[in-house]
Structure 1
Amino acid sequence: MRAVRLTAWGREPALSEVERPVPRDAEVLVRVEAAGLCHSDIHVIDGPEGALPYRPPFTLGHEVSGHVAALGPDADGPAVGERVVVYGPWGCGSCARCVAGQDNYCDRRRGLNWHGVGLGRDGGMAEYVLVPAGRHLVPIGDLPAHQAAPLSDAGLTSYHAVNGVRHALRDGTTAAVIGVGGLGHLAVQILRATTTSRVVAVDIREEALTLAQRSGAHAGTLMRTDTARALRARTGGVGVDAVLDFVGNTATLELAADVLRPGGEVAVVGSGGGQLTVRKPGFLPPGFRLSLPFWGTRPELAEVIALARSGALHVETEQFPLSAAPEAFDRLRQGRVAGRAVLLPA
C-alpha cells in the first residue's frame, strides 16, 4: 500500500510502498477514507533528532477516518464495514486515565516513545492504518470522511479547550478566540453551539476574520497594537471572560493577559513557543487561571461527532489526493490553507 512516511529526522516525508498491515490479537485494520494535515505534523517533520521520543521510520497522519476493513481474533468494537474516526492520542492503555478514555493525559506518557497515531506510531496518511484496539474507534455513520477526519484533532482539541473554560461562559460573557485557522474556526462554532457567550475573533489575516464570521463569530478584529483596547471597549471596559489562544506566541499570550477580566480563564492551545511570565504581584489580572489543554478524551470525541452530525459543526477543508501530500504540506507551511487540508487516499 502507499503511505506518507517520515524516514529519518531532517528529511521531508516521502510517499512510499509498504506492506499492508495484518491485524493480530485485539488490533483493527481501518481502510482510510481521509486524513487531515496539522501544524503538529510540521513540528514533527522539522523536529531535530532527540527533540521528540519518536523513532523513524513511521507513517504520518493523526486525523483519520475510514471504515473497518479487518479485525484481529480478539478485537471488539465496530464491525467490519462500519465507518469510524480514529481517536488519536494513544496512551499506555492500562493506567486509570487510559481505561477512562483519557489517553491524552496518560499517566505513563513520559515513558512512551509515541504520542499517538501518526505521532511515533504508523498513522493514517496511507491506504490503511492499524489501530491497537477497537476502543480507539468512534462510529461516524454517514458523516463525510473529509469532515470526520479533522474532527479527531482540530474538532476534539477545540472542544476539550472550550470544556475547560465553559464554566466561565454564562449569559452576558465574552470569549475571545485568537487565531482562526483549522482549530480556531471550529472553536468559534463550538462556543456558539454550547455556550451563550459572545464570541470575538482575533487574527492577523483578513481572510481568517471572514472565516470566523462564516463560523458564527459575533465580531472580529485584526491583531494590532491597539487590539487590547478595542477588545476591552467591546466589553464595556471590563475585559473578556475567557481567551482561547490557538497561536501561543509571546504576542498572543500578552494580548490574552491584557484583555482578560479579573477571575478570567486563558487556555493556550497553540504551540507558538511564546512565554508569559507569571509572578505575584505582577501585571496579570487577579484570579487569572491558565490551562494547557492537550487533545481531548474519547467520550468528548463522540460528543464532537454528534455535534457535527446534528449540523452544528462544519469543517472548512481543502482536499488533496495522497500523491499531492508534498504540495499540501507546502501550502500548510506557507499559511495558504483555508481551514484544514485533508488527504484522500482513494
Structure 2
Amino acid sequence: MKAIQMVKAQAEPELREVDKPSPGPGQVLLKVTAAGACHSDDFVLNAPPGALGFDLPMTLGHEGAGVVAEVGSGVDSVTEGTSVVVYGPWGCGVCRFCSQGLENYCSKAEELKIYPPGLGAPGAMAEYMIVDDPRHLVPIGDLDPVSTVSLTDAGLTPYHAIKASLPKLVGGSTAVVIGSGGLGHVAIQMLRHLSPAQVIALDVTQNKLDFAKSVGAHEAVLSDSDAVDNVRKIVGKDGVTAVFDFVGYQPTIDIAMGVVGTLGDVTIVGLGDGSATAKVGYWAQPHEVSVRSPYWGARTELLEVIDLAHNGVVDVALETFSLDDGVEAYRRLAANNLRGRAVVVP
C-alpha cells in the first residue's frame, strides 16, 4: 500500500510503498478515508536526528478517519464497516489520568514508549492504519470524514484549551485568539458558540484578519508591536478575560501577557519556543492571572467535539490532496500558505 513517511530527520517526507498491516489481538485495522496534516508534523519533521526517540521510517498522520476493515482477536466492541475518527494521544489506559479519559496526560506513556499515531506509531497518511485499541475510535455516523478528520486535533485541542476558561467567559468578558490558522479559526467558532464573550483575533496579515472575522471574530487586530495598545483600546483598563495563543513564540506570549487582565487566563497552545516565565511574578502581571500550557484533549472531549460537529457548530476550512500529492500538502504546510487545514484523501 502507499504511505507518506518520515524517512529521515530534517527532510521532507516521502511517498513510499509499504506492506499492508494486519491487526493483532485487541487491534483494529482501518481503511483510511481521510488524514490531516498539521504543524505538529512539521515540528516532528524538523526535529534534530534522534531527538524524538522513535524509529524511522514512520508513517505520518495523527489526524485520522476511516472505516473499520478488520478487527483482531478479542475485539467485539466495534464492527466492520463503521465510520470512525481516531483519538490520537494514546496512553496506557490504566494510570490515574487514563482512567479519567485524559490519555493525553498518561503518566506511563514515556516509560512504556507509547506514541500517538503519526507521532511515533504508524499514522493515517496511508491506505490503511492500525489502531492499538478500539477505545481510541469514535464513531461519526453520517458525518463526512474529510470535513471531520481535522477535529481530532484542530477541534479537540482548542476545545480542551477553551473549556477550562468557560466559567470566566460570561457576559461582558473578552477572549483573544492569537493566530487564526488551522486551530485558531476553529477556536473562534467554538468561543462564539460556547460563550457570550467578545472575541478578538490577532494575526500578522490583513488577509488572515479578514478570515478570522469571516468565521466569527468580533474584532481583528494586527499582531505587531502595537498589538497590546490596540487590544487595550478595545477592552479598556480591565484587560482581557482569556487569551488563547495558538502560536507560542516569544512575541505572541508577550502580547498575551500584556493584554490579560486581573483574574484572567493565558493559555499557550502553540508549539513555539517562547516562555511566559519572565512575565510571571507578583509585580509582573495583574493579580491572579493563570498561565497554562495544555496538550491535545481527553477522549470524552473528542466525543463532545463530534457532537458539536453533528450540530453544525464548526466548519473547518480545508484544502484536500490525494495521497499521491500528499507530500505537496506538507510543502504547503511548511511554507505556511494553507487556508485552514490540509486533508489527504487516499
TM-score range, shorter chain: over 0.9
User: Shift of residue 57 of structure 1?
Assistant: 1.8
Map 1:1-346 → 2, pairs under 5 A: 1-276=1-276, 277-345=278-346
User: Shift of residue 324 of structure 1?
Assistant: 0.9
User: Shift of residue 114 of structure 1?
Assistant: 4.4
State the number of aligned residues. Answer: 345
Q: Which moved more, 1:314-323 or 1:216-225?
A: 216-225
Q: Deviations over 1:166-194 (max 9, x none)?
A: 12111110000000000000000111111
Q: Which moved more, 1:255-264 or 1:111-120?
A: 111-120
Separation of aligned partners in 2, 1:284 and 1:54: 40
User: Shift of residue 279 of structure 1?
Assistant: 4.6
Separation of aligned partners in 2, 1:279 and 1:13: 39
CA contact (8 A) 2:151 2:305 kept: yes
Separation of aligned partners in 1, 2:310 and 2:206: 29
Separation of aligned partners in 2, 1:217 and 1:78: 40
- SS at 2:190's partner residue? helix
Separation of aligned partners in 2, 1:55 and 1:278: 38
CA contact (8 A) 2:92 2:114 kept: no
Separation of aligned partners in 2, 1:33 and 1:272: 31
Q: Which moved more, 1:291-300 or 1:49-58?
A: 49-58
Amino acid of the structure 1 residue aligned with 2:332: R
Q: Deviations over 1:227-285 (max 9, x none)?
A: 11111121133211000000001111110111011111000000111122145333222
Residues 328 and 87 of structure 1, relative CA distance in 2, 3 Å threshold = same
CA contact (8 A) 1:202 1:221 kept: yes
Separation of aligned partners in 2, 1:75 and 1:97: 24
User: Shift of residue 299 of structure 1?
Assistant: 0.6
Q: Deviations over 1:49-96 (max 9, x none)?
A: 232122212110000011111111211333110100000001122313
Q: Which moved more, 1:101-110 or 1:115-124?
A: 101-110
User: Shift of residue 298 of structure 1?
Assistant: 0.7
CA contact (8 A) 1:257 1:285 kept: no
User: Shift of residue 112 of structure 1?
Assistant: 4.2
CA contact (8 A) 1:53 1:114 kept: no
Gaps of 5+ in 1: none
Gaps of 5+ in 2: none
Amino acid of the structure 1 residue aligned with 2:200: V
Amino acid of the structure 2 residue aligned with 1:23: P
Q: Which moved more, 1:132-141 or 1:225-234?
A: 225-234
Question: TM-score, structure 2 length as denominator?
Answer: 0.97
- SS at 1:264's partner residue? strand
Amino acid of the structure 2 residue aligned with 1:36: G
Amino acid of the structure 1 residue aligned with 2:39: H
- SS at 2:155's partner residue? helix
Residues 302 and 291 of structure 1, relative CA distance in 2, 3 Å threshold = same
Separation of aligned partners in 1, 2:45 and 2:114: 14
- SS at 1:200's partner residue? strand
What is the root-mean-square deviation in Å for CA atoms of aligned residues?
Answer: 1.3
Question: TM-score, structure 1 length as denominator?
Answer: 0.97
Residues 211 and 77 of structure 1, relative CA distance in 2, 3 Å threshold = farther
Q: Which moved more, 1:173-182 or 1:198-207?
A: 198-207
Q: Deviations over 1:90-130 (max 9, x none)?
A: 11223132233211010113324343111100000000110
